[in-house]
Homo-oligomer: A and B are copies of this chain.
């Protein structure tokens, strides 16, 4: 009988749940809106019930549940940390124990980017490699670090907060309270904010017109599109984002020298065509032989990768003591 793990990827907008084989194949998945769910735990339970029914397996073939949640998570206790800007209803909740009681299954909860990193390490681009860093570039930038088969959590759970390492010590304030963080330049939010600041007071700017004359409607995908179409303001913002991404890669390559770096997340699709520019920038900030030994790839974000990663949390927890 096929052994199945349930993976649940909780996002700010929607939550996806799927059944995953021990080889990492997602054999069925469903999603539901996160925003608006008054009780996200009930929503997840219903979603899981739907998946169980859809995959047509008896309940006893499901061995465990892994759940990836944005933001800080106390993985040892399955408790969601605070602040959780994306899913406020989960802040401080003992999600692991709550789900365990409802589902009568082992449940493992961790940060969603740690989950993605474990998924890539077990089944994806980093399969079998000693060390791997996953950068998830979306509204914010998160990272998961796996070295020697272990997730680097740090002493207080902040290991892998690479979105908030400075790439410019003289740079502007970041929304995290820090300064010159890579997120200021290269996250979806940072790119959109920079564009809005640059067109402020100029209602005729290409970006403002592209956003239906509402500067607040300027989004990162819109900036990438305008840059590709030759808008000078958008192009300079995208150039700066690529340069900051290159510096971030320099920090990872020279600092940790992992075998594989995967760039994924919602913004990764827009970065695909910019890969030569990003890798060119990375070469400016890295020791040549360190860079030569590290493979850097861009993998567009995909809900199934999130589901697979969440399932990997359960498989990982079996091998190690959290």
- A interface list, Cβ under 8 A from B: 129-131, 143, 145, 147-148, 150, 152-162, 164-170, 176-181, 243-244, 246-247, 250-251, 253-259, 284-290, 292-294
| Beta-carbon contact of A287 and B180 below 8 Å | no
Given A177-B287, A178-B285, A284-B178: A169 and B247 interface contact (C-beta under 8 Å): yes
| Beta-carbon contact of B165 and A168 below 8 Å | no
- Min CB–CB distance A299 → chain B (angstroms): 19
- A290–B153 Cα gap in the complex (Å)? 11
- Min CB–CB distance A78 → chain B (angstroms): 19
Q: Which of B129, B161, B286, B290 contacts A290 (CB 8 A)?
A: B161
- Min CB–CB distance A120 → chain B (angstroms): 16
User: What residues of chain B lie closer than 8 Å to A159, measured between beta carbons?
Assistant: 255-257
| Beta-carbon contact of B290 and A178 below 8 Å | no
| Beta-carbon contact of B169 and A259 below 8 Å | no
| Beta-carbon contact of B253 and A169 below 8 Å | no
- A179–B246 Cα gap in the complex (Å)? 11
User: What residues of chain B lie closer than 8 Å to A244, measured between beta carbons?
Assistant: 169
| Beta-carbon contact of B289 and A156 below 8 Å | yes
| Beta-carbon contact of A256 and B287 below 8 Å | no
Contact sample, A vs B, 11 pairs, CB 8 Å cutoff: A145-B256, A154-B256, A155-B258, A155-B259, A156-B257, A159-B257, A166-B251, A166-B285, A169-B243, A169-B247, A176-B287
